[in-house]
Each structure stands twice: as C-alpha cells, then as structure tokens.
C-alpha cells in the first residue's frame, strides 16, 4: 500500500515525538509549599480532581490584606533538588480561573515574572461551584544539578477605587519537564496512574510501512 509522502512525514514526526526521552521530571505538591502566610492545605469538593486529594489555598479578605501581606509581598516557596541538568518547561496547576489574584514567580534568585489573573490556563476541571483547577505554563528554565527553590509572590494591590483587593490563590501541583502535556492530576510517565484502558492502548503498536511498501 502506498502512503502519501505528506502522511508518511506526519506519522514519522508523531513517532519521533512519542519516542523522545522525557528526562528528569520534577513534580511538587502544592500543599508542600513553605510560607508564613495563612494557607490551608486540604482539598474540598471533587477532591478526586486534585493530586493526592489536597492543594494549597490562600484566601485573604481585602480588609485583612494590609495586616497579612508585607509591603514587599508575601511568598510561598517550594524547595526541590535536580539530578540531571536540562531545560524545563515550568507548569503550575492553579485554581480560581480569572478570579485568582495576580502573582509573580521566580526560580532561585532570578527575576520575578508576573502572571495576570486573565492569563488563560489549560486542561481546566471544576471541583466545586465557581472553583476550578487548571494547568498554566508560566515559563521555562535551565536547571543545573543541585538544590533549587521556586517562589510565588503576592503583593498588596489596589483597584480603581484605591481599595485593596483580596488575595485569592490555590496551587495543586507544580511540574517541570522537558515537555509536558497536561492531563489532570496525573504525573507524566507515572505507570501508577494508568488504568486498564491506558494499558490496553499501550499494548497496540502501529508500525508505519517503509516508503518502498
């Protein structure tokens, strides 16, 4: 059977993409974040949509922001260790689509990068009425072997009426990998999260005929 060249090329690229080594994957649980801020570390609603059933949640009413956040901003930190050097995409699984507060993030002592509330996420799932969780790719980083820290910062911000905004944020998980395709709470490459349908699909291998076929 002759396969059109454009179709063969597409299949070749697909096969290459599936066989690329993922390298080391860094996965951090949101609720493991270190902070002096008044956070909760448990889930609610459809906790089956959360990694481990929990997440880190920060909810500070507007009238308490001034007393809760330092002027330079309140920070949540996630220390982690890298075994293999490499360039990684940085993804955060966060809550409250559009309603979340603006925040900034950085790795180690790098520059802060701001993330706006209306920045669109991917793979959104509702866990309760007016409460969602979704993945957001915030950037990339070259990581050397050794100890690192990812930080998220919240600063007091005022609205058009010059009143302080409340602070609202939730983090379920953080993933740093060479490439990452969001799939809910599932960790990339972890066989433990596969169900029977996943294992059955993996057993089917499709081979592309050679150009001479």
Rounded Cα gap, residues 43 and 172, in angstroms: 9
Terminal alpha carbon distance of the chain: 6
Q: Within the chain, what is the greatest distance between any pair of CA atoms? A: 73
Rounded Cα gap, residues 186 and 73, in angstroms: 32
Rounded Cα gap, residues 200 and 204, in angstroms: 7
Which residue in this structure is represented by tokens 């070259």?
Answer: 142
Give me the chain's average pLDDT, please. 87
Per-residue confidence (pLDDT) for residue 208, from 0 to 100: 73
Buried b (16+ CB within 10 A) or exposed e, 39-55: beeebeeeeebbbeebb
Which of 14-18, 38-42, 52-56 has the weakest average pLDDT? 14-18
List phi, psi (to 5°) of 22.
-80, -25
**Structure confidence by residue, pLDDT tens digits, 71-113:** 889 999 999 999 999 999 999 999 999 999 999 999 999 999 9
The pLDDT of 152-157, averaged and rounded, is: 96
Which of 30-34, 40-44, 115-119, 204-208 has the weakest average pLDDT? 204-208
Strands (E), 83-208: 86-95, 103-107, 113-115, 122-128, 131-143, 146-154, 167-177
Query: What is the signed CA dihedral for 188, 189, 192, 194, rounded to 10 degrees?
Result: 80
Q: Which tops the pLDDT comparison, 212 or 124?
A: 124
């Amino acid at each position: 059977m002759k396969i059109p060249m454009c179709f063969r090329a597409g299949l070749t690229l697909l096969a290459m993409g599936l066989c690329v080594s993922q390298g080391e994957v860094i996965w951090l649980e949101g609720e493991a974040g270190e902070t002096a801020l008044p956070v909760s570390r448990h889930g609610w609603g459809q906790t089956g949509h959360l990694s481990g059933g929990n997440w880190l949640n920060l909810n500070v009413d507007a009238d308490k922001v001034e007393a809760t956040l330092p002027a330079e901003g309140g920070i949540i930190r996630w220390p982690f260790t890298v075994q293999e050097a490499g360039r990684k995409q940085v993804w955060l699984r966060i809550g409250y689509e559009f309603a979340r507060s603006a925040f900034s993030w950085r790795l180690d002592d790098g520059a802060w990068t701001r993330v706006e509330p209306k920045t669109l996420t991917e793979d959104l799932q509702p866990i309760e009425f007016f409460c969602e969780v979704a993945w957001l790719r915030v950037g990339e980083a070259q990581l050397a072997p050794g100890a690192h820290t990812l930080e998220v910062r919240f600063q007091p911000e005022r609205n058009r009426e010059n009143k302080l905004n409340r602070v609202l944020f939730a983090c379920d998980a953080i993933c740093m990998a060479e490439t990452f395709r969001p799939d809910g709470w599932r960790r990339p490459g972890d066989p433990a999260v596969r169900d029977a349908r996943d294992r059955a699909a993996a057993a089917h291998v499709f081979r592309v005929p050679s150009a001479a076929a």
